[in-house]
Structure 1
């Protein structure tokens, strides 16, 4: 045979497909996904079994973790010790596992840093009381054993869990092409659902969800997912659960007492502090961590004032930090058929109940077999006691006493062997009485076991009683509160900014600054050489400062972000992008729903809410279409008074007063004619709209011309009233050169 005949040849495509498939199946079945029966991955199952073999039961003295890990990787799990130890640590952390399987001594990490645990040479561990639910029936013929990796030892394929650990502690893992995310649940609730399903095999998913309403995380929190979404999650096996921290008020301070599952308090404080440093959370004055041994979670937030809306503030923090967290749910596990699959809640419990029924039946059958074997031996021993003298003679004088005993008394090989192994001290008369009593007790037990195995009703009753007893022994109250709440909302920057009176001053060269208060005289501020006052607006610090340039474009900046008036400010061109040749003309501060008249000196305009002027873009937004040679006028607020009138005056001294209700409302554009100035006069520049003013119902109008002024009220003012777009009436001689309009105080 040549060397070529011994070489197997495969196409690369076939080889790689098979190799990857084998790897994928190994990761899915032997590493990443838990089994439905006991809820454990192979490494977890091997750790628990190795600890039980080391005698590390809950009541025994703990041993070094290094000893346990050594046995695990040396006998059952030939992988890295660090990964194996980390899996063991996870099962010991009461903030990671709802019902820890391992009880540790030493540093096993903290909720703030779960991976800060000490090395395994420093820590000690033993099994927890809860682990008895997985191990109590292990030696009773309940599960199959398989050879370990080198064939020198046997290990259980599964652990005979007395409760559905797959739901109680959940599981997380990423395999190849699939993953699992099973959240933990409350033991009493899951036990109640299993009992209900045991009594009512046709129970609906809705019935079970009334008993198991939601997951129950170990750290406790508020589960705010609506019940309808939770029901859909349990029906499909996929979904998400949203958890929220719990807080209370203590003398004005906000005390966070419970954090969501797997959320670090230190991380939450970092996120809040980052917002405070960025001046995006001015409502808070201070925060500190007062957590200690008695109060594992106590994060203190100090509001800047008692007038702060705590609910709005916490809603913002829920939306912007890990104080509220969403958890993916994927009920994917390996079923009793050895195949992975996503199950709904009912299917998962039904399948586990099948496993539990088979486990109990195997346990009873194993016990029945042992009882029957013992009864068989007892029958032979009692025959020997009834014929003790003859038995002694046969043993003493016969060369082959075993065969003679079997023939003389019709004994089996097992019975004859038991007789031959009797010690002399067991030949006392009281021993016969003891054997008779043991036979009667075992006979009664045999009948009871056989009756249970033959009756489905009795078998279900036994399973029911055991689940009830385990739920009473190991169960505890629910830790997570079920509270349906609306989605949290991050506050807008304006809502977070303190509302203080401010004055925005704009210079002729486009420099802007912000002064606190309304009593500031913007014209009296000092300006850079060659620069001067142009416009100003008064409002609140949490409002948007809206700027209007010579081309009719509107821009907006948060008022509180503008530079202080202690200096000369800064040019708007550094924060906004203006078109070539454009210059800033006007500034407005107000609420978004306030209505303003936007007009050009060509005599056209329209009304729009202030929010239409607000843009997030550096380049602003097109607002007013300005004819060539025309400029926008200062925006005029025109809402509030039902009898409000608008006064328009042109450079030729023509005045028009009309009801504000005649103004068109648009989002943008050129607008409608306000004052009827002939187009040829506008084009030549001979006449333009000089000013507009809002007049309340009983107000008087003051017309300024040079150093003089004319006050119009009542019938004198009504003489200038007409419809919007009219030509207007000329003012008296001497007021043809109007320089402005004012309200009469």
Structure 2
């Protein structure tokens, strides 16, 4: 009795390592990477072969895709039906394959969603004419056959491709520790390069790149990668290709007519719409998808005005959306030696030509064997015609005519069997003439094939002629134009905004909004219940809006991002984080280098730039140091520090004008005293500064005291001139209760 165990004991580490390596090799060789010869992965090859076995050629009536998938997974590929069907659909999508191998009827997906195809029970399919280039020589002894997974059938180890499908339709795949990304190319260009290499085996990579100028995607998007980068890509087998959408102008609109390979129109629209919702793309008014059956790609962008530079806008969209996309290239294939390797263009074409030479040699040798066999049989028929009476006598009289015939006429067993199976009508005189003509034709063909097999030059000439014929029949013009351009750069946010006049309005409760134009009566706008007008500032939509709170901190936000004045606006507390108890008290707009006077009701102030008040911090930045009980006054813009004058008004009716040059320029601080207020009159209930205004020489101001107002021209203001920190002059009795001051603007 055998007591030896029927299992093997090995360390877990060794078992796991061996199993993982076996799985890795299976994924690399049998799933993820294409074979250089026919450019197909095993599942693709089995689908194509199964469809040919079902008789689904280009002229046949299509059958349900479920029938094909059933044959594939039942006979050759024992994997999931959904994965098999998806691989089948991919080969039928004209937007995925440069030269589709399957002609699908029904819903086979769309560029918006390639995986939106219908279930296989609803669709029908057959092979395309192009698939004949992979299958045409299959039954001519050109390939090796291997048993299928259960050993009941034979399947081809590869398909006898007549053209380099590995480059024409490309491939993508992820294996274990490696991947492949081969872009599609143009048939005529690749064939031209093959012929160049056939005629000149010493042709360099630069010579081949004269023919293969770059990838050729199924879409008409531009390939903008520079020529030297494409050359480096083909030299190393690694790199990237950048493609860009194509657009035209129709009146004021921008129409996108082609998208990069594998880019969804719906995704592009979503990316643009997201920028518009975030107010990061104010140059666009609207966008529409007008794609239909006749125009598969037609995306319409509507600029906000005719002044929008379409080229600059599209440059920004190229940089921020999939309208410009980079594709990785990794020419990793399984070579003729059965090993995966990243190969350059010359290596791929050279190795494929060796594959093609071997395939044609097999085909010719197979045909030669067929001819020899047929001539051998025709020689037997010749014996019959010359000795027909003797042959008939032997067949009639002998119990075993076969050995007698073989001995009498020196025939082989095959010839003797053929004679015995010959019908009497084939012995007619007309048939003899046909057989003689067939023999002569076969002898000529045998001689021609022998010449080809013995002459490598003539064999290469045959391959060259076949390649040219196939390129002429199945080739087409390049779809992806090669136009060298620099990669797009996103525009600065300020460049995206149309400079339009706006008026920013701030309410007492801290709600803000922006109205178009400067002729806006801010006080007359509608406000929430219990709220009212506090301040307004005029500027441009491209400028920063600056807010200063009761603690002296400043906050900034782009004016174009503020909500429309059609509503009540939004609270500033949603944008900024104010200190507890603080309220926004002042507002201004301007360019970053704009100078302005910052002052407090305590009578102190300084000159600062608007840039010093700007910042991205939601908590703001401290800029004005305030005395207890003091409040921030409305900032006054300075145009010329050396010549402008500042006018300061107090609640007691004192007015002082002095040169802005007497104030220091600071980034933050309390500043210097603007006007003298006696100590006895200071304090929250005493005399305070109610407003400041900056005027140019010859300018004017308007004073407001309740319902009364008074305009002072330059000649009037001269009387209130003096040194900084002096007491100034006293206004007329009716305006000594002044509460606001404004510079008069043209």
Normalised by the shorter chain, which TM-score bucket?
0.7 to 0.9
Bigger shift: residues 617-626 or 207-216: 617-626
1:467 offset after TM fit, Å? 0.5
1:441 offset after TM fit, Å? 2.7
Aligned to 1:465: 465
Asked if the contact 2:648–2:657 (Cα under 8 Å) also holds between the matched residues in 1, the reply is yes
Q: Distance in 2 between matches of 1:518 and 1:233?
A: 57
Asked if the contact 2:655–2:730 (Cα under 8 Å) also holds between the matched residues in 1, the reply is no
Asked if the contact 1:644–1:695 (Cα under 8 Å) also holds between the matched residues in 2, the reply is no
Alignment of 1:212-291 (within 5 A): 212-273=212-273, 283-291=283-291
Q: Distance in 2 between matches of 1:391 and 1:570?
A: 112
Aligned to 1:450: 450
Aligned to 2:72: 72
Q: Distance in 2 between matches of 1:528 and 1:392?
A: 120
Runs (5+) with no aligned partner, structure 2: none
1:157 offset after TM fit, Å? 0.3
Q: Distance in 2 between matches of 1:711 and 1:71?
A: 97
Aligned to 1:9: 9
Q: Distance in 2 between matches of 1:564 and 1:94?
A: 46
RMSD between superposed Cα atoms in Å: 4.5
Runs (5+) with no aligned partner, structure 1: 721-726
Query: TM-score when scaled to structure 2?
Result: 0.83
Asked if the contact 1:499–1:542 (Cα under 8 Å) also holds between the matched residues in 2, the reply is yes
Taking a change above 3 Å as real, the CA distance of residues 408 and 303 of structure 1, as seen in their structure-2 partners, is: same
Aligned to 1:99: 99
Q: Distance in 2 between matches of 1:196 and 1:92?
A: 31
1:486 offset after TM fit, Å? 4.0
1:337 offset after TM fit, Å? 1.5
Aligned to 2:169: 169
Give the number of equivalent residue pairs: 731
Q: Distance in 2 between matches of 1:27 and 1:351?
A: 23
Q: Deviations over 1:560-581 (max 9, x none)?
A: 4446667876653443123457
Q: Distance in 2 between matches of 1:76 and 1:621?
A: 71
Q: Deviations over 1:432-484 (max 9, x none)?
A: 44444333332332222222222221111111111100000001112222333
Q: Distance in 1 between matches of 2:87 and 2:525?
A: 69
Alignment of 1:391-430 (within 5 A): 391-392=391-392, 395=395, 401-430=401-430
1:304 offset after TM fit, Å? 4.6
Asked if the contact 2:673–2:725 (Cα under 8 Å) also holds between the matched residues in 1, the reply is no
Q: Deviations over 1:224-260 (max 9, x none)?
A: 3333433333333333333333333334444333333
Alignment of 1:700-715 (within 5 A): none
Q: Distance in 1 between matches of 2:434 and 2:529?
A: 119
Asked if the contact 1:315–1:488 (Cα under 8 Å) also holds between the matched residues in 2, the reply is yes
Bigger shift: residues 185-194 or 385-394: 385-394
Q: Deviations over 1:504-563 (max 9, x none)?
A: 344677554544442345567798999887654211244321123466543112334446
1:394 offset after TM fit, Å? 5.0
1:620 offset after TM fit, Å? 2.0
1:673 offset after TM fit, Å? 8.3
Alignment of 1:186-201 (within 5 A): 186-201=186-201
1:45 offset after TM fit, Å? 0.9
Q: Distance in 2 between matches of 1:528 and 1:86?
A: 58
Q: Distance in 2 between matches of 1:126 and 1:526?
A: 69
Q: Distance in 2 between matches of 1:251 and 1:705?
A: 51
1:145 offset after TM fit, Å? 0.5
Check if 1:339 corresponds to 2:339: yes
Aligned to 1:724: none
1:272 offset after TM fit, Å? 4.5
Helix, strand or coil at the partner of 1:537: strand
Aligned to 1:115: 115
Bigger shift: residues 64-73 or 643-652: 643-652
Q: Deviations over 1:46-72 (max 9, x none)?
A: 111111112222122223333322222
Asked if the contact 2:287–2:300 (Cα under 8 Å) also holds between the matched residues in 1, the reply is yes
Q: Distance in 1 between matches of 2:584 and 2:3?
A: 90
Aligned to 1:32: 32
Taking a change above 3 Å as real, the CA distance of residues 409 and 529 of structure 1, as seen in their structure-2 partners, is: closer
1:30 offset after TM fit, Å? 1.5
1:396 offset after TM fit, Å? 5.1
Aligned to 2:588: 588
Helix, strand or coil at the partner of 2:108: coil
Taking a change above 3 Å as real, the CA distance of residues 687 and 58 of structure 1, as seen in their structure-2 partners, is: same
Asked if the contact 2:675–2:726 (Cα under 8 Å) also holds between the matched residues in 1, the reply is no
Q: Distance in 2 between matches of 1:235 and 1:492?
A: 37
Query: TM-score when scaled to structure 1?
Result: 0.83
Q: Distance in 2 between matches of 1:531 and 1:302?
A: 38
Aligned to 1:179: 179
Q: Distance in 2 between matches of 1:157 and 1:482?
A: 37
Helix, strand or coil at the partner of 2:241: strand
Q: Deviations over 1:111-166 (max 9, x none)?
A: 33433433333333221101100011111111101111111111100000011111
Taking a change above 3 Å as real, the CA distance of residues 742 and 731 of structure 1, as seen in their structure-2 partners, is: farther
Alignment of 1:582-661 (within 5 A): 584-596=584-596, 605=606, 608=609, 610-622=610-622, 635-639=635-639, 644-645=643-644, 657=659
1:401 offset after TM fit, Å? 4.8
Q: Distance in 1 between matches of 2:588 and 2:637?
A: 10
